[in-house]
Every structure is written in C-alpha cells, then in structure tokens.
Structure 1
Amino acid sequence: MTGAQLKEKIMAYSKDIGIDKIGFASADPFLSLKDRLHEQQRLNYQSGFEEKDIEKRVTPAKLLPEAKTIVAIALAYPSKMKNPPKSTKGDRRGVFCRASWGEDYHRVLKDRLQKLEEYMLELVPGARCQSMVDTGELSDRAVAERAGIGWSGKNCAIITPEFGSYVYLGEMVTTISLPPDNPITEQCGTCNKCVDACPTGALVQGGQLDSNKCIAYLTQTKDFLPERYRKKLGNRLYGCDTCQQVCPENKGMDFHHQEEFEPDPDTVKPKLLPLLELSNKEFKQKYGRLAGSWRGKKPIQRNAIIALGHFKAEESIETLDQLLNNDPRPVIRGTAAWSLGQINTKRTITLLEKAKGYETEGEVLKEIENALNQIAEDQMLSSK
C-alpha cells in the first residue's frame, strides 16, 4: 500500500474506535517551539510539570529513532453539565474544571492510541510506535497544530473548527511514513477576550502563559497558596475554565458522545465540608477516576478551605477550627486560619486567638497573625 492508502485506512479505523479527529505531521524537529521554550525558561514561566530536557520536547527522533510521522488525535468533551447541583448559602459547593469531568482522559486517550497502534502494526508489521498523552515529552499543542487538528489560540489551547477548544489531545510517533496534513491558519484575529478575562493575568499576551500565575496550575500545588491568589481562586477545586468560557469559538460547543467523559454532577461539583473529612482511601474511592485526583487529596482540601473563606461560610467555622487545632499538615492548618479570618465573626476571632497560643509551626503562626491583623483592619475600615 502507498502512504496515502495507509493513511486513509488509519483515518477510517480511527472513527470506528471513537477518535473525533485525527491528523498527521512530519516528525521533523520543532525548531520554532525550541526558541519559545528557551524563552519560557528564561522568563521562569514554566510550571515545573513539563519535561525539563528541551531537546526531547522538540526532537521526536530522540524518543523514537527513525521516526517519520506523528499521528495526532483529539477527543471532544462536554462543556455543560446536565442538572448541575446549586451551591447555596449554608451548603456550599466547589467545582472541578471541565477537563476533569468523567473518566481520567489520560486513560481514555491511551486506550484509543493503543487500539490505533495495534491496527497500524497489523498494516505495517515491523514498524515501531510510541504514544503519549499530556505527560509525554512532546508538546501536545505543537504536534496538534502541525497536524492540522486546530490552531494554537491566544488562550494557549488548541482550537478546533469542529469542537472549539474542548478537546483532549494525544499523539503517537511512528516509523511509518504517512503524508502530512496542512496546519490550520490561526483565526483568533484581534480577539483578546481570553487575555482580558484571565483572573490572575497569567496570559501575559496572546499565546504566552506564565504558568506560575495560572489558576489551573495553582490548584495543583501542594504548598501554601500565595495570598494574592486566594481570592482569585473562588470555589475552584481543580483547574480553571475562564479562558475557554469567554472564547467566541467555544460558543455552542457542547459534546456528550464520549460516554467516559460524562460528569457525575455531585462528584465534579461536590459539597465542600464533606471533602474535608475524607480519608485517603475515601478520597481515592470517590475521586480516583478523575484527572483532578492525580495530586492526591491535599491540594483539593486546601482549595476547599479557601472556597469556604471565599463564601464566608459561617457553617464551616467549627470544622475549620478542628482543622486548625488537629490537622497534622501545616498547609491545611494555616489555610484554615486564613479562611476563619475571611469569615470574620466574634467566634472566629476567639478561635484564632486561642490557636495563636499553642501553635508552634512558624508558617501557621504567620497565617494566624495575618488573619487577626486583617480582621482588625476590616473592623477599622467599617467603623469609619
């Protein structure tokens, strides 16, 4: 078979196994990406979750010798939830971003890629393939852009004409030579809505992200969240959808044909207080299938505590006090102190003063003192 005939067969099979879009790119080095990555490193805009070896990120042949082609795939996911539960006073809820609805996309895309790889090796015995999803060395976005899946938007997401940016991406490097597709021309034009709407200014400019300021990244960190970002977090437990929600290309985009990605409303928009009582085992049982569980329960619980402060949820005072008194994790104790300070009642002042008397951890003491100082400032302002 010719390369074109092989490509047609692979494309047809991809539809049979539920791949929404497939594209093909050369395995040549990503030279322009290399320059951008070095610039990101220089500016300290990287999150630290990326592959540190830039050569591996831009040179497919370093991952698979004699690589000829990269096959890129995309699977669409929902943007709207059916019958979402409401967050009400006295019964507040947090929210997981849309990319963490349903089954962990890493597992789903790896399943599709494995099936595709097995089929390709049947067509070309002796060929070699290497697949990756998100955590691989290559840039999913750069591959998808080159393969014509979509264009790289100002929000640093791949935007497809068919599904907007609500797609998961994966790729396979192969020694099979297949005709490449043409990239899609960038279509954001003068639109700057995502940059303007970013809650923390993480989108420095269209197409350039300071990952360290990005809420999606911040929700995954395990240490104290810098105070300047806490109120920006709102009730987000994992991830952030703002730059996708404001994108005009995503208007009306909502796809529910991938059953694995269908969300359970109570799981992805959970009540905050019960989250704080989960053991590791209970957390894994309830949330382990979500992509947002990969860092464990600590970041999610820290974010839930911040959300309670955001809501000034007085019903959480006793639970937060228990955490402040008894939790072995300084980050959780200190964040509970901050949240009590945000709620700001006579009861919270008493509890914070009491905790100040016996807390020995420096960072937690600092959070308690900051919370008490903030309350004093607020009281001064309200009395003027």
Structure 2
Amino acid sequence: MNSQQLKEAIVEYSQSIGIDKIGFASASVFEELKGRLLTQQALNYQSGFEEPDIDKRTNPQLLLPNASSIISIALAYPSKMKNPPKSTKEERRGIFCRASWGQDYHTVLRDKLQKLEAFILELVPEATVKSMVDTGELSDRAVAQRAGIGWSAKNCSIITPEFGSYVYLGEVITNLALPPDQPMEDRCGSCNKCVEVCPTGALITGGQLDSQRCIAFLTQTKGFLAEEFRSKLGNRLYGCDTCQTVCPENKGKDFHLHPEMEPDPEIAKPKLKPLLHMSNREFKEKFGHVSGSWRGKKPIQRNAIIALAHFKDETAVPDLLKVVKEDVRPVMRGTAAWALGKIGDASVLNELQKLREKELDEEVQQEMDKGISMLQA
C-alpha cells in the first residue's frame, strides 16, 4: 500500500466511525504560529491554561521523534437546543456555551482518535502515533488550518464551509509520510462583526485574542471577577458564544450528528438559585460529564451569583443572604454581598451592615462596602 492508498484507507475508515471531516498536514514547525504566540506572550494575552513551552506548541518533532505528518479531525456539534427551557421571573436560568453541551468533547474525540490510531497501527504495525485533543501541546486550530479543515477566522476559531465554526478538533501526529491537503483560503474578507461585538474587546485584531479579557476564559477563573467584567457576563455560567453566533458563516448551521453531543436542557440551561447551595457531590453527579465542569463548582457558582444580579432577581435575596452568612469561601460571600447591593432593598441594607461588622476577610469587606454603597444610593 503506497502513501496515497494509505491516506484513502484512513479517510474511508474515519467516515465509518463518525468523524465528520479529516485533513492531512506536514509535521514541519509552525513558524507563523510561533511568532504569534511570542507576541501573545509579550503582551500577556495568554490564559495560563495552555502549554507554556512555545517550542512544544509549534514543533511536532519535540512531541514525536521523526514526526512526518499530522492527521486533523473535526466533529460537528449542535448550535441549537431542542425545547430549551424558559427563564422565568421566579426561576432564572444560566447558560453553558455550546462547547459544553452533551458529553465532554475530550472524551468523545479521544475515543475517535484511539480508534483511528488502532486502525493505522493495524495497517502499518511499525508506525508511531500520538494523538491529542485541546489539552495537548499543539494548537488544534493551527493544525486544522494547515490540514485544510477550515480557515483560521478573525474570531480565533476554525471555520469549515460545511459546519461553520461549530466543530471540535483533534489530531494524530505520525511518522508516516502521508500526502498533505491544501490549506484553505481565508474567507472572512472585510467582515469584522466578531471583533466589533466582542463584549469585552478581547478580540484585538482579526486572529489575535487577549485571553485575559475573553469571557470564555473569565468564566473559568476562580477568584473575584473584576468589576468591569461582571456586567458583561450576563447569565453565562461557562464559556461565551457571541463571536460564533454573530458570524455570517454560522448562519443556518446546526448539526445533530452525534447523540452523545445532544444537550440535556436542564444541564445546559440550569436554574440559578439551586446552584448556589449545591454540594461537591451533587455538582459532580449533575454536571461532571460535561466539559464545563472541569474547574469544579466554584466558578459556576460565582457566575450564577453574578447572573442573579444581572437579572436583578429579588426572589434570590434569601439565597444570597444565606451565602453571605454561611459560605466559608470568601469569593462566594463577597460576590453575593455585591449582588445584594444590585438587587436588595432597605431591609437588606440593615442585614448587610450587621454582617459587615463580623466579616474578617479584607476582600469580602470591600465587596460588602460596594453592596452597602449601592443600597444606600
């Protein structure tokens, strides 16, 4: 079997196991990406979640000796929820981004990649392979762009002609020399919608992201959220889809090809108030299988408090007071005190002032002072 026949066999097999798109690229150094990452590092635009070694992120040879090719795969996920529950005045709801609907995509993609690896090794037992999804060293997007899966858009996503940017990406590095596919031309053109509507101005220019300002990143942090971002969060509990939903290339794109990716509406759009008092065990049982749970319940609960403030949900006052009085975590007490300032009344002011006298944590005191000032005003 020559390299072209091997490639065709891999493509055919990938389709049989439900991979929606596959592309092939050389394993040469990603020089352009390296320059962009060095700029990102110099400007402190990194999130801190990525691999810190830029050489490992851009040189496949450091990850697999004698790496020759990279196989990129894409799986399309839904952009619309069937029968989404409504947020009511009595029961306000938050939202997880689309990439956290259904089963954790890392699990779904790893299963496909492991099957692909096994198939390759069956055909070429002496081959070496190494696969990764998202948390690996390589940039999934840079690989996908080089492999012709789609183009690297101004919103920092890969956009495919077939599925828009609603795709999960993964790759297999191998020492096999496989014919590469042609990279796709950029189709964003003069469109700048994603940059213009980014809630926090995180998209600096087309293709450059200040992760420190990106709502998708901010929803995953565990400390106090800077006040300038709280009003931008809305009811987002995890992630942000704004730069995808405004993209003209995503108009009408909604694929339900994988049952495991279908969202449970009560998990993708959960009620906010019950989240505040959920134990670790309850959180894991309900949300543990979705990608948005990877940082634990703390960021989700903090974001739920901010969402209740966004809605000015007066029915949440007893829940928020309970958090201020009983939660051992300063971030929760402080954020709840701030939220009470947004939605409370004179009776809340008295309660908050009494709690302020007992509070020992300096940051919580500052948030309480903000809440008290808002209530006095």
TM-score by structure 2 length?
0.99
Per-residue CA deviation, residues 200-233 of structure 1 (Å, 9 max, x unaligned), is 0000111110000000000000000001000100
Deviation of residue 236 (structure 1)?
0.3
Q: Measure, in 2, the Cα distance between the counterparts of 1:160 and 1:152.
A: 9
**Counterpart position of 1:20:** 20
Q: Measure, in 2, the Cα distance between the counterparts of 1:348 and 1:161.
A: 53
- Residue ranges of structure 1 left out of the alignment (5+ in a row): 380-384
Q: Quick one: percent identity of the two aligned structures?
A: 66
**Counterpart position of 2:33:** 33
**For residue 20 of structure 2, what is the amino acid of its counterpart?**
D
Per-residue CA deviation, residues 327-361 of structure 1 (Å, 9 max, x unaligned), is 01000000001110110311221221111110000
SS at match of 1:171: strand
**Counterpart position of 2:117:** 117
**For residue 211 of structure 1, what is the amino acid of its counterpart?**
S
Deviation of residue 64 (structure 1)?
0.2
SS at match of 1:200: coil
**Counterpart position of 1:79:** 79
Conserved? CA contact 2:92–2:272, under 8 Å: yes
**For residue 192 of structure 1, what is the amino acid of its counterpart?**
N
**For residue 281 of structure 1, what is the amino acid of its counterpart?**
R
* Counterpart mapping for 1:1-384 below 5 A: 1-376=1-376, 379=377
Q: Measure, in 1, the Cα distance between the counterparts of 2:46 and 2:153.
A: 18
**For residue 26 of structure 1, what is the amino acid of its counterpart?**
S
CA RMSD of aligned residues (A): 0.7
Q: Measure, in 1, the Cα distance between the counterparts of 2:89 and 2:370.
A: 26
SS at match of 1:173: strand
Q: Measure, in 1, the Cα distance between the counterparts of 2:133 and 2:347.
A: 49
SS at match of 2:169: strand
Q: Measure, in 1, the Cα distance between the counterparts of 2:347 and 2:179.
A: 69
SS at match of 2:154: coil
Deviation of residue 176 (structure 1)?
1.0
SS at match of 1:130: strand
SS at match of 2:170: strand
SS at match of 1:278: coil
SS at match of 1:328: coil
* Structure 1 consecutive aligned stretches of length 4 or more whose deviation exceeds 3 Å: none
- Residue ranges of structure 2 left out of the alignment (5+ in a row): none
SS at match of 1:49: coil
TM-score by structure 1 length?
0.97
**For residue 161 of structure 1, what is the amino acid of its counterpart?**
P
Q: Measure, in 2, the Cα distance between the counterparts of 1:128 and 1:140.
A: 20
Deviation of residue 374 (structure 1)?
2.7
SS at match of 1:223: coil
Per-residue CA deviation, residues 140-182 of structure 1 (Å, 9 max, x unaligned), is 1100000000000000000000000000000110011100000
